[in-house]
Structure 1
Amino acid sequence: MTGLDDLDRKLIRALAVDAGQSASALGRRFGLSQPAAWRRIRRLEAAGILNGRRLRLDGQALGFGVTVFLGVKLARKGRVSLEDFERAVSAIPEVQTVEHVLGLYDYRLRVVARDLSDFERVLRRRIMTLPGAGDVEANVLLSEERLPGPIG
């Protein structure tokens, strides 16, 4: 999809805040009919600009009081494949995201746990036993604020 107009950008911003809004509500908000808003949303989805709608769970309310960002450097001994590591780490339920990154570490993981001792258990018994797991660095999340994305 080539050019986005101002109305497309407004729809994207509105859906980024609340992806559950109906086409009817968005149409009323931006001066469109429900079918026109629906067609624009479908066009943005078909172009790959809108990619799914996600539900954000409150980890705290579900009993997961600790979130840790974990940098993982793969051990060079044995040369485990990236796919093997990714497959194994993705199977750990406490690991919410797996990001292959460039920098000091090879991967950045978002891990949730009930508390710090639960995180230590996940780290020692699950993550550090993965094929190729080497050095790690843990950063405990203190607070999180959702900031507007790059489309302003």
Structure 2
Amino acid sequence: MIELDDVDRMLLRELACDAGQTAGALGRKVDLSQPATWRRIERLKGLGVIAGRRLELDREKLGFGVAVFLGIKLATKGRVSLDDFERAVCAIPEVQTVEHVLGMYDYRLRVVARDIADFERVLRRRIMTLPGVGDVEANVLLSEERVAGPLG
């Protein structure tokens, strides 16, 4: 585990809220100069604590009004390569995340669609036809709240 001080943690919290902030703006929030803030951020990147930045899009403004979480159990684990399944499911543009999980299902997917009819089309024509797909459980997202991460 990497040792972080209070300033590192404050920087990470601020970046988690808005990764596009400048080093100067961040420095003012944590009482550091811009160069000192920049050096700390670069150190955190070098240590691998900051693995990258992510763009967050508003799916509804882009016309995707429905998000669904799918639990997928592979029917024939021995006959289907997990790599083949992952490669195929990652090629579906409506699939936002693919998580290999332990438990009732083998995979958990986050799928977006324009509406329920569009989701049904994606499910029937793209997901259910993937190699090895067995049981599928769908949970429609009703609302989503931002929960603070491990440093919050």
TM-score grouping bracket, smaller chain normalisation: over 0.9
Pairwise mapping of residues 1-150 of structure 1 onto structure 2 (< 5 A)? 2-76=2-76, 79-150=79-150
Q: How many residues align?
A: 152
Aligned partners of 1:88, 1:121: CA distance in 2, in Å?
Answer: 17
Using the TM superposition, give the Cα deviation of residue 55 of structure 1 relative to its aligned residue in structure 2, in angstroms: 1.1
Using the TM superposition, give the Cα deviation of residue 3 of structure 1 relative to its aligned residue in structure 2, in angstroms: 1.1
Aligned partners of 1:85, 1:36: CA distance in 2, in Å?
Answer: 46
Percent identity of paired positions between Structure 1 and Structure 2: 76
CA distance change for structure 1 residues 118 and 6 in 2, over 3 Å: closer, same or farther? same
Aligned partners of 2:61, 2:90: CA distance in 1, in Å?
Answer: 23
Range 45-54 or range 4-13, more displaced? 45-54
User: 3-state DSSP class of the match of 1:111?
Assistant: strand
User: 3-state DSSP class of the match of 1:2?
Assistant: coil
Using the TM superposition, give the Cα deviation of residue 77 of structure 1 relative to its aligned residue in structure 2, in angstroms: 6.7
Unaligned runs of 5+ in 2: none
Aligned partners of 2:29, 2:142: CA distance in 1, in Å?
Answer: 36
Using the TM superposition, give the Cα deviation of residue 78 of structure 1 relative to its aligned residue in structure 2, in angstroms: 6.1
Using the TM superposition, give the Cα deviation of residue 143 of structure 1 relative to its aligned residue in structure 2, in angstroms: 0.1
Letter in 2 for 1:56: E
Unaligned runs of 5+ in 1: none
User: Residue deviations 1:12-50, cap 9 Å, x none?
Assistant: 000001101110101111111111100100111111111
Report the TM-score, using the length of structure 1 for normalisation. 0.97
Aligned partners of 1:52, 1:65: CA distance in 2, in Å?
Answer: 28
User: Residue deviations 1:57-78, cap 9 Å, x none?
Assistant: 0000000000000000001276
Q: After the TM superposition, list the runs of 4 or more consecutive aligned residues in structure 1 that deviate by more than 6 angstroms.
A: none
